[in-house]
Amino acid sequence: MSALDRGVAAIYNSKCEIDIGGRLSRKLGILGGTFNPIHFGHLAAAEEVRARLQLDRILFVPSSNPPHKQEEDMPSALHRMEMVRIATSGNPSFELSDVEVRRGGKSYTIDTIEILRQNHRGAELYFITGLDSFLEIRTWNRWEKLLSLCRFVVLSRPGYRFTDLEGIDFMRPAAHELSNLDAGKLSEALIRAGSFTICCEQIPLYDISSTDIRRRVKAGMSIKYLLPDTVEIYIIENKLYA
């Protein structure tokens, strides 16, 4: 571990709330990802969901080693956690969780949800993901068990339609609601499929991507207004993605 990483780790040892023993919320949103880096698209989508579903808090959970995603220019987990901490510090309803980074290894969502259920007993968990990711739900580790442990919140994504979900057998009965979401007749739909509850949300589409931000930094281009200024400064000072 470098001197910089040791310094960032010291910040978390002293200031970061550990999930074990954390305060309870009645409705807790969970937004995972590599956050490589976190940007305004992540933040705006999280706030939109928080307001719509009246969530008490949203936990941002940076992954340690995501099984479905391999990215170039991946800074250490400590760097990515610090960028999330900086980006979310201005919203009292947003919090950083280091549950996956502390656990290490492959970051399977089922393991994260089981830990958070233990640490936040009595809370109703809402796992937030994109439509593109949910289309692959049957490839996720213990996916049926996962869907029974929390509500999934599926967000619209550029280039995808909610009717694409009709390819998943348990979503076919909701074809009418999915079609209305795509047509703009509905902005959200609560779909119950057996013991599963899926919240589909048609949200404003933010044309910002972490991939593009990394590309722009590498090319020496501006990333202003794509992410918080404090995160931009952190990237520059630590020579990330250059």
- Which pLDDT belongs to residue 56? 97
What is the model's pTM? 0.87
Q: What is the mean pLDDT of residues 214-237?
A: 97
Structure-block tokens of residue 194 = 């057996």
What's the CATH superfamily of 3-237? HUPs (3.40.50.620)
Distances 21 to 104, 152, 235, 242 between C-alpha atoms, Å:
20, 24, 32, 39
> In what helix (H) or strand (E) does residue 127 lie, and over which residues does it extend?
strand 124-130
d(CA 116, CA 193): 24
Q: Domain ranges in the chain? A: 3-237
Query: What residue type is 213 in one-letter code?
Result: I
d(CA 68, CA 78): 20
> In what helix (H) or strand (E) does residue 201 lie, and over which residues does it extend?
strand 196-201
* 190-199 tens-digit pLDDT: 999 888 999 9
* 77-93 tens-digit pLDDT: 999 999 999 999 999 99
Sign of CA dihedral 124, 128, 129, 130: positive
189 bridge partner residues:
200
